Amino acid sequence: MATGYFITGTDTDVGKTWATIALMRHLQNRGKSVVGMKPVAAGCAMQDGQLKNEDALLIQENASVPVDYDLINPYAYELPVSPHIAGVNNPADLAQLLVQFECLKKLADTVVVEGAGGWYSPLNEREANSDLAIALALPVILVVAIRLGCINHARLTYQAIVQSGVNCAGWIAMCTDSGMLSRGENIAAIKIAVDAPLLGVLPYRGIADFDFFSEQLKL
């Protein structure tokens, strides 16, 4: 089993955090100690005197061991915009993120890293999430939001991951549209088009049920 995974998505707001927590719990249920990391987060609010992100707090809460917030989310930006814009005065430093990741590796068997936005979403003015994934050298798990247009988005993102030279460990179907027509047929089409295993289908839920989600995964 890999010592970590990098979670990316077909877009922003596709359910990456829910998939990340589900994966963390799935691995914990298999006897692994797990910590998570959300290196860069935009749309943060002040809590206890510092900017914090709700998704990063959820990742912190679900870790197997206590982890300082700053280690989980080194770059927390207030504005809910692309990190290269939100962090113009404090841009994410790729080398520093690698240092933080190495610290997390010492705390648990597995580190699950959630990227910001999609595969090519900017981290700063020069580098994208893809550059971070390549530098971390972790297997990538693609979260596909099952909604209108998902086949195209899944194929394009998977192609980009493969062209980047990293290993795609599989993909997760995140059902984000409760009223989507032909949901199963869309998932079946992606299974044919994407040459990586389907790790699980997470049914639509208005409120996250991470224990249920974790049971749907196969890794």
Give the active site residues.
38
How many whole angstroms separate alpha carbon 103 and alpha carbon 99?
6
**Of the candidates 194, 71, 63, the residue with the CA atom closest to the CA atom of residue 141:** 194
CB under 8 A, 24+ apart: contacts of 61-64:
62/21, 62/24, 62/25, 62/36, 62/210, 63/24, 63/34, 63/35, 63/36, 63/108, 64/28, 64/32, 64/33, 64/34, 64/35, 64/108
Distances (CA, A) of 31 to 44, 66, 125, 187: 32, 17, 40, 30
Residue 102, token pair as written in the block: 């190495």
